[in-house]
Amino acid sequence: MAEEDGRGHYCFGCSKRNPIGLHLAFRVEDGEVRAPFTPQDEHQGWPGFMHGGLVATMLDEAMGWVIMAQGIWAVTGKMNVRYRDPVPLHQPVTVVGRIERDRRRWLLVRAEVRSSEGTVLSEADALFMRVSGDRQRELEELYRGVTLEDVDRSPEADPV
C-alpha cells in the first residue's frame, strides 16, 4: 500500500497528516507510552467535557502504540472502558499505555487517561490479537518508516 494511493498513515489518533485527528504524540518511558493532550471545544460531548467515544479512542491508541513500540503487530480484539470522571475541556491530560501480559497470540494491555494531578479519569483494558501472514506484511508496508519519533512531534512540526 503506497501513501500516494491515499491509504497511507492517516490514523485519526496519531497521524499528523489527518487534519481532524487527535495528533497524539507518544513517547516511551519506563516500558510505557505516554502522550499529552488538551481537549478542545471540537472534542466536546456534554458541555465542558470531552466526548466519551474520543476518550475511548485515546485509550485504544495508547494500547496500540505500546504494542507497536515493542515491535509487535496486533489489533484490538476486545476492549473494556471505565469512565471514572469526565475529562474536562481545555485542561491537559496524559494518556498512558502498558502491556500487562503477553500470551503468545493475545496480549493483555491497559491504558489510562490521567489529569495533570495524576488522577485517573478513564481507564481501559483490552485483549489485542497478534497478526501474521498477509495482514502483518500489509501493516509493515503501511507503517514502514513510521516510528514513535515520527509521532513525537507536534503536527505543526511536519508540513506534510
Q: Report, as residue numbers or ranges, the catalytic residues.
A: 60
Give the rounded distance of the alpha carbon of 46 from its chain centre: 22
DSSP codes, 77-117: EEEEEEE-S--BTTS-EEEEEEEEEEETTEEEEEEEEEETT
Give 2-69 as a DSSP string: -GGGTTSS--TTT-TT-TTS-----EEETTEEEEEE---GGGBSSTTBB-HHHHHHHHHHHHHHHHHH
| Cell numbers linked to 15 | 497521524
* Spacing of C-alpha 101 from chain mean position: 18
136 and 73 in contact (C-beta within 8 Å)? Answer: yes
